[in-house]
Amino acid sequence: MSVQLQSLELWRHALVASVRGDAPDLSARQMSLMLSVYLGEGPHTVRGLAQALRISKPAVSRALDRLGELGYVYRQRDDLDRRNVLVQRTQSGARFLTDFGHLIEEAKEFVAAGVPSRMIEFAVEAPTAAPVAYDEAQELAVAAAE
């Protein structure tokens, strides 16, 4: 299986596990902001995040609104420059990303176990065909690894 297909399978497996879990689903924009805030060096401002992600400030603000509702980040006025709004991390947000990191590790193990490449090739060759059930795909991968 090519590196690109392995990467896509890793991403797919992690996302499927994520949407099956109890944590809220985040959009790609929201997840990009989360990763930028938690993994990038701060301080983080709406303006700086918009520039880094090359999206508009209103788009950043909307995503931060949702992340704030979830308790994953909060905004605080910069005491040194009241025009700036700083984006702060929270324990809840750190826990969410730690849990998501564990899902990625599990996905990595799943992919390393050897997902039958025929399933991925089938999906690439015939995207309009009925998809194989995720549980069935997982069972085939486990059987192939044994």
- Give the chain's domains with CATH numbers: 3-112 (1.10.10.10)
Which one-letter DSSP state was computed for residue 80?
A: S
Say how many residues make up the chain: 146
pLDDT in tens, 15-46: 999 999 999 999 999 999 999 999 999 899 99
pTM attached to this predicted model: 0.73
d(CA 69, CA 119): 39
Task: Pinpoint the alpha helices (H) of 21-133.
Answer: 28-39, 46-53, 57-69, 91-112, 117-125
Which one has a higher pLDDT value, 23 or 134? 23
